[in-house]
Chain A
């Protein structure tokens, strides 16, 4: 079948680093995407990994291991505004996980 698994909730301290894991199962796989969604807002694209390894975009990094069907999103120097839901997804069409709700506390 097709599925993505990610933790439902994560809490981290402002200024710290947090890692959100995602494991997936699918017969056809092109790559893993990450989206951010604030409460009441639209999902916004963060990053994409087509190949194994780490992709860095500012404070956010994303990692993929195709052999392990596993990826993660790494958020560094956490800020209060990073409190949101984070979704991993594969395509196409985009199939989303259930999301990880990140709470950043002072």
Chain B
């Protein structure tokens, strides 16, 4: 049973550039959430996708956008990168109608902005 996968593992970008991160949910899951985790901090909720629509959004600027595909996989896009966007980006999947408190996280993408 495949768990949550994310790509790439690591990424280095320059300020002002744009980045796209990818996530495949755990088999059988239909909901994908994205989190940003700064060093030494807890994950912060960015947004959640279900049925190819953004359902909930955290306190993140419009530079952060996403997409969900018919196969439930998802992308996170960040435009006009800032140094402060350097973090671990985590994708988590769950099943709509399932336990809202239990999410399955991927290993994350480590983004460094220079």
Residues of A whose CB lies within 8 Å of any CB of B are 30-31, 33, 41-45, 48, 87, 89, 91-99
**Residues from chain B with Cβ under 8 Å of A44 in the complex:** 105
A93-B101 CB under 8 A given contacts A42-B106, A42-B108: no
Flag whether B44 is at the interface (Cβ < 8 A): yes
Asked if A87 and B99 sit within 8 Å, CB to CB, the answer is no
Asked if B107 and A93 sit within 8 Å, CB to CB, the answer is no
What is the predominant secondary structure among interface residues of chain B facing chain A?
Answer: loop
A95 to B100, CA, bound (A): 12
Which residues of chain B from 90 to 110 have a CB within 8 Å of any chain A CB?
Answer: 90, 92, 99-108
Q: List 28 A-B contacts (CB under 8 A).
A: A30-B101, A33-B101, A41-B107, A42-B4, A42-B90, A42-B108, A45-B101, A45-B102, A45-B104, A48-B99, A87-B43, A89-B42, A89-B101, A91-B101, A92-B101, A93-B33, A93-B45, A93-B48, A93-B56, A94-B33, A94-B43, A94-B101, A94-B103, A95-B45, A96-B43, A98-B41, A98-B42, A99-B40
